[in-house]
Each structure stands twice: as C-alpha cells, then as structure tokens.
Amino acid sequence: MSFEVVREGAVASLELDHGKANEMGSEQLRAFEALLDDLDGVRALITWSRRRSSRGTPIFIAGANVTERVGWSQDQVRAHVRWQRSVLARLRRAPIFHVAVVNGVALGWGTEFLLTCDYRIAADEAVFGLPETGLGILPGAGGTAELATYVGLGQALRLGMTGERISAEEAARIGLVEEVVSSVDAGLERARTLAALVARKSPTAVASFKAACLAAVGQPPSVRTELEARAYEHCLHSGEAAIGRANFGAIRKGEAVPWGPLEPFEA
C-alpha cells in the first residue's frame, strides 16, 4: 500500500501510512513521481504521519524498504539508489512550499527525506538518526551530499559516522528542523497556517524565490546576485509584478489576488 494525497484548494496533504513502518521502497518512489507529475494548482505540500507501531512507538519514516532488495544484484541495488536519489532531488526542486511534520522515528531515509523539505516541524516525540554506516553503507538518498548544508560539517559527520539518535530539541539546536511543537496536531496547525500564507502569494514569485535560493547555495556573491536579478526579472516578464502593483490595495487588505499561472524560473 502506498500513500494518499488529499487536496484542499491549493494545499496538498500527504499522510504516510503504509507498510510495516512507513518504510520507503519502489512503490513509494513511483508514488512520489506521480505526485510530482501532477502538481498543477498545488502551492504547498504538507507531509506528515500519525502512525504508531503495535507497541505504540510513533513513526514518521523508519527507513528504506530493505526487504524488497533481498536477492537483488549489486547492479540492481546501485540503480535503485540512484533512482531514489534522483526522485528526492526532483522533490527538493519542486516549485511548491513543502512542509514536513515529523513525529516519532525518522531514521535513515526518514532523516534524509527532510532535506527535500522547505520547512521542518518536529513534534516532541520525534527521533532522528543515520544508522547506515553500521550496515556497511552510507546515507545514499541525499544525506551524504546535502546534510552538511543544513547542519554544518561537524554535525553531519557526527550523525553519519556515529549513527547517534537525536531528539527533536537537539535537531532544532543543530538546524535539522526549524520548530518543535507538542504534538502532531499542533504541527499540522502550524503547517497549515504557513501553507495558507504561501497559497495567497504569486505562484511564479514563490517558485522563483525558492529556485534562486537553492541555486545560490555555495556560490560566490557575484553568482548569487545574478541569480537574484534574473529571478526578479522573471517575475517582471511573467506579468506577476504588474498584477501585484495593480492589486496593491487588495493585497494590503488581505484579499485574494488574481495571480497568473505558474511560470517556473530556470535557475
């Protein structure tokens, strides 16, 4: 069983509730590809889980579905991991605001999945960790390549080399998550508030801002400045800036604005 996406206006909600422990395998990768192929009208995505094990342990994503790999050749494993890496990279670049509400176990793939999100909210039962090196591998769904960008090299090495599990509070301290809340429901309320704010903004402007910010990471100042200039001018050329000026009074009153369709910015 894979997950189901529910849409309410411009906001999509993805509740993880599949398999034994929300593990991620081929079926889920195909589901993510289908989601990414059908984002028309979606402005924000909230990924969350209320799942608990038979012992009552809360689960976000317990890891990859290694059971399906039994009997696979090295070439099959290599191709699968490259596929999952490409799907998550595509999810990271999606022109939407993606919020994760994490409660419970988020190990391996679960921690790496957070690197595809724009904002991460952890409930107080969340637990994070990268156990891969203890299994003779390393984080292969973005953790090795991207984690240091979020938490710094020292913390990335700590998590990846030791496999130490950390709490929601520690994850917030090192920058793996942005907020800690008391429960899944509190996290969902906060996520929906943020998603509603994004849904009222220009889809082209929001997507251009995200694309430029992501492309600017690690670049010298001259490149970052040029990305900003190009993204700004894209908003001008798309007509969104003119719509914003024409509706400035309505925007100040918090009224809906007839923004144009999404025109992605190629950073």
The closest of 58, 63, 53 to 126, measured between CA atoms, is 58
Q: How far apart are CA 88 and CA 267, in angstroms?
A: 18
> Over pLDDT 70: what percentage of the chain?
99
pLDDT in tens, 68-78: 999 999 999 99
Q: What is the pLDDT of residue 2?
A: 66
- Judge whether residue 62 has pLDDT over 60: yes
Q: Is 229 helix (H, G, I), strand (E, B) or coil?
A: helix
Burial bucket for residue 217 (CB in 10 Å: 0-12, 13-18, 19+) = exposed
Q: What is the pLDDT of residue 19?
A: 87
Q: How far, in Å, are 29, 49, 81, 153 from residue 84 at the CA level? A: 7, 20, 5, 23
pLDDT in tens, 128-170: 999 999 999 999 999 999 999 999 999 999 999 999 999 999 9
Q: What is the pLDDT of residue 169?
A: 98
pLDDT in tens, 3-56: 789 999 999 999 999 988 999 999 999 999 999 999 999 999 999 999 999 899
H-run or E-run covering 197: helix 184-199
pLDDT in tens, 234-267: 999 999 999 999 999 999 998 989 999 999 999 8
Q: How far apart are CA 116 and CA 106, in angstroms?
A: 14
Q: What is the largest CA-CA distance in the chain?
A: 63
What is the signed CA dihedral for 203, 205, 211, 212, rounded to 10 degrees? Answer: 180
Q: What is the pLDDT of residue 20?
A: 87
Strand-pairing partners, residue 15, are 4, 48
pLDDT in tens, 86-133: 999 999 999 999 999 999 999 999 999 999 999 999 999 999 999 999
pLDDT in tens, 169-203: 999 999 999 999 999 999 999 999 999 999 999 99
The number of beta carbons lying within 10 Å of the beta carbon of residue 227 is 20
Strand 127-129 and strand 166-167: the pairing is: antiparallel
Separation of CA 4 from chain center? 16
Q: How far apart are CA 266 and CA 45, in angstroms?
A: 21
